[in-house]
Amino acid sequence: MAHLTTNMKKLVLLLALLLMSVGGFAQSRYVSETTKRIVFTRDGGNCKCCGSSQSLEYDHITPFSCGGSNEVSNIQLLCQRCNRSKSNSCVCKIHNKRVGTNCCEKSASKKDIATATQCGGTTKKGVRCKNRTKNSSGRCHLHD
């Protein structure tokens, strides 16, 4: 009977771990099909920056990495070129046009930026992170 109890404990632990990992997907970049349909209709099927209807992508107005949500109000259509140019900021560098907000920079004053150092972390591509930080660890919030 004790053997059955041990197996039951393992099963409960496994199920708990599985449920916790599935719960982690709620905080993902995933934009639902319903949100995509609403945004596509609202934005008229065109890039909000240059007006192109080619290679459209769903962009977070406030970047996901800065806490931006997947709500309709925070998603817009951008063509691939404008979206890649915007990256983690609020300006399309190709058209020099503001196409979003960047909460990562909102609270940082010029004085804070001057005293911050470049993050010592590396990205998934293996290159040094470009974020700036004042953390004593020398790493930004993405690499703590």
Q: What six digits make up the tokens of 37?
A: 């349909």
**82 and 126 fall within a common domain:** no
Q: How far apart are CA 116 and CA 108, in angstroms?
A: 10
Q: Is residue 90 within a helix (H) or strand (E), and if so which, with residue range?
A: none
Question: Quick check: 18 pLDDT over 50?
Answer: yes
Domain span at residue 54?
28-105
Question: How many C-beta neighbours within 10 Å does residue 58 have?
Answer: 17
Last residue of a domain, one of 105, 121, 136: 105
Q: Decide if 97 is inside a domain.
A: yes
Output the domain CATH number for residue 56. 1.10.30
Does residue 15 lie in a domain region? no
Domain count, the chain: 2
HSE-CB at 2 with a 13 A cutoff on CA atoms is 0
Q: Are residues 39 and 73 in the same domain?
A: yes
Q: List pLDDT tens digits, range 53-86.
A: 999 999 999 888 777 889 999 999 999 999 999 8
Same-domain status, 48 and 117 = no
Is the pLDDT confidence value at 143 over 70?
no
User: Whole-model pTM?
Assistant: 0.55
